[in-house]
Structure 1
Amino acid sequence: MLGMLFSEKECRELDYVLRKELDEMLLDLSDQRLDLDIRHAIASRYKTIFRMYARFAPSKELSKYARKARLPQAKN
């Protein structure tokens, strides 16, 4: 585990960057034109970024980014 100390301004900036990244990934996940494998990779990355954001975001803000839908399974 890695610990880091941030100033208040740096915390606000990190909050902003993570929120924007989550927004972009949600947009990409809703794009049906993307290959299913790519969307699964984005979903995996989304979980990591979401967990980072969840460490300091208020629950009201966090609920905006909680994913409800699952990706469909690939047909064999």
Structure 2
Amino acid sequence: MLGLLINEMEKKELAYMVKRELEELLLDLEDSRIDEMVKSAMRDRYQVLFKLLLRVATQVECMEYMPRKKLDGQL
């Protein structure tokens, strides 16, 4: 296990960056032109980033990025 010491401003910036990356992944997962193998790797990345978001964002903010119903089986 690793620890990280950051201040409140850095925490907010980290949450912002993770949310933007999650949004990009959600958009790309809906793109039919992307190969299923690539989407599988994207889903794995989404899970890792979502777990990171849970550590730095509020519950309300995290609810917005919970895996959606239509993607539940995939995420």
TM-score (norm 2): 0.87
Tell me which stretches of 4 or more aligned residues in structure 1 moved more than 3 Å: none
Which is higher, the Rg of structure 1 or of structure 2?
A: 1
Give me the CA root mean square deviation: 1.1
Structure 1 residue ranges without an equivalent (≥5): 72-76
Correspondence list, 1:1-76, <5 A: 1-68=1-68, 69=71, 70-71=73-74
**Higher helix fraction (1 or 2):** 2
> 2:59, 2:7 → 1: CA distance?
22
CA-CA distance at 1:56 after TM superposition: 2.6
Q: Percent identity at matched positions?
A: 38
Q: Which has the higher contact order (CA 8 A, sep 6+)?
A: 2
TM-score (norm 1): 0.86
Structure 2 residue ranges without an equivalent (≥5): none
Task: Give the count of matched residue pairs.
Answer: 71
